[in-house]
Amino acid sequence: MNFCTSCGSKVALKIPEGDDRERFVCVNCETIHYVNPRVIVGCVPVYQDKVLLCKRAIEPRYGYWTLPAGFMENGETTPEGAARETWEEARARVSGLELYRVFDVPYISQVYMFYRCEIDDGAFGVGPESLESALYSEAEIPWDEIAFPAVKETLREYFQDVAEGRFPVRVSAIEYKRRNKE
Amino acid sequence: MNFCTSCGSKVALKIPEGDDRERFVCVNCETIHYVNPRVIVGCVPVYQDKVLLCKRAIEPRYGYWTLPAGFMENGETTPEGAARETWEEARARVSGLELYRVFDVPYISQVYMFYRCEIDDGAFGVGPESLESALYSEAEIPWDEIAFPAVKETLREYFQDVAEGRFPVRVSAIEYKRRNKE
Ligand SMILES: [Zn+2]
Ligand SMILES: [Zn+2]
């Protein structure tokens, strides 16, 4: 951040009075500009014993498979955002959303929230950010072509939870370079 | 938003190519400035059969009681943020954080995430944004002096869950003017 969104003057990093960390503060109008983590909302869309995945038509991880997910927008709830992303990326309408998996990704200041849900009538398609979409059973999942570690972990946990008949909400953090370690 | 954070030129609202909603776009460098929801993280800090509340020393709701909570910062996880806020507002160190309650507040584009946790050694104090702090049993909670509907609802659910011996993660949305309806 270089310039103030309010008045267009330069900003400088300094610790505001009563605060304990550096913020971007306008040198002219003194507005404090907070920069906060962003929320990514997504779904684990289920039909019968299968999960809907999308093959990414965009970078990063072009050509790899993922769960439908994207940045939460202003004015929506987290399940609304998750359902919207599922429509946009996989042209599926979903119901019965239940919070299922939270990932913190502190090194890029992101929080992922995945909702389990059912695909209405099992109908889906392909949105503009996807090359294709498909329903996969556990045995069919292309494990070596999953785009992100968080998605792979969520899928593994999901099929395990199906087997055990319980779906606890899990929270964990993804550390830097985790993908390379796998 | 009036000015571009990158170059200081004016921004204009327009729908970027491939997008479906208006964004602030710089008329000079064409940077798209996304504005996203913010996350508030907090705790339900427990010691024996009591919950720690703070009396607010700041607006809004000065003088009313609340659970320790505040804006999540970049570079931290949601439980780290919740624990940080509990230290800042109530000078309590907490352990065993478990996600407990999520509130979507779409009309102000906020997501609240409360973690249940235990207060180490039952020790607490008063941070600069609080007038006082206190441990309350269910019978002692000052129900008519709770700052926010989300806090009141979380406390009611918590004591109900204690009675039932189970702590499901709940997600719901808070609609505009809900406080006035109560
Ligand atoms: Zn300014
Ligand atoms: Zn610009």
Are A90 and A166 found together in one domain? yes
Dihedral, CA of residue A166, residue A169, residue A175 and residue A176, to nearest 10: 100
Are A111 and A143 found together in one domain? yes
The tally of domains found in chain B comes to: 2
Are B143 and B84 found together in one domain? yes
pLDDT exceeds cutoff 70 at B182? no
Are A141 and A97 found together in one domain? yes
Rounded CA gap, B114 and A43, in Å? 21
The confidence band for B179, taking pLDDT boundaries of 50, 70 and 90, is low
Domain containing B29: what range?
A: 1-35
Does residue A16 sit within a domain?
yes
| Sequence letter at residue A100 | Y
Phi, psi of B103 (to 5 degrees): -120, 130
Does residue A164 sit within a domain?
yes
Are A74 and A24 found together in one domain? no
Q: Give the pLDDT confidence score for residue B18 in this predicted structure.
A: 86
Q: Which residues contact B73 (CB under 8 A, 6 or more apart)?
A: A21, A36, A37, B81, B84
Phi, psi of A5 (to 5 degrees): -70, -20
Interval B15-41: pLDDT, tens: 999 898 999 999 999 999 999 999 999
Give the β-pairing of A38-47 and A110-119.
parallel
Residue B3 CA: which ligand is closest? 2
Rounded CA gap, A145 and A87, in Å? 22
Tell me which residue in A18, A35, A39 faces B37 most closely, judged by beta carbons: A39
Rounded CA gap, B98 and A54, in Å? 31
Residue B1 CA: which ligand is closest? 1
Are A93 and A145 found together in one domain? yes
Domain with residue A152: its CATH number is 3.90.79.10
Are B86 and B175 found together in one domain? yes
Residue of B32, B77, B108 for testing the chain A interface, max A β-carbons within 10 Å: B77
Are A70 and A143 found together in one domain? yes
Rounded CA gap, B93 and B83, in Å? 7
Interval B130-139: pLDDT, tens: 999 999 999 9
Ligand 2 center–CA B19 separation, angstroms: 19
- Provide residues of B within 8 Å CB-CB of chain A: 1-11, 18, 21, 33-39, 71-80, 99, 102, 104, 106-107, 109, 111, 128, 169, 171, 173
Does residue A160 sit within a domain?
yes
Are B30 and B107 found together in one domain? no
Contact A6 B3 (CB under 8 A): yes
State whether ipTM is beyond 0.90.
yes
Rounded CA gap, B156 and B138, in Å? 8
Does residue A180 sit within a domain?
no
Q: Which residues contact A146 (CB under 8 A, 6 or more apart)?
A: A64, A65, A66, A152, A155
> Which chain B residues are closer than 8 Å to A107 by Cβ?
75
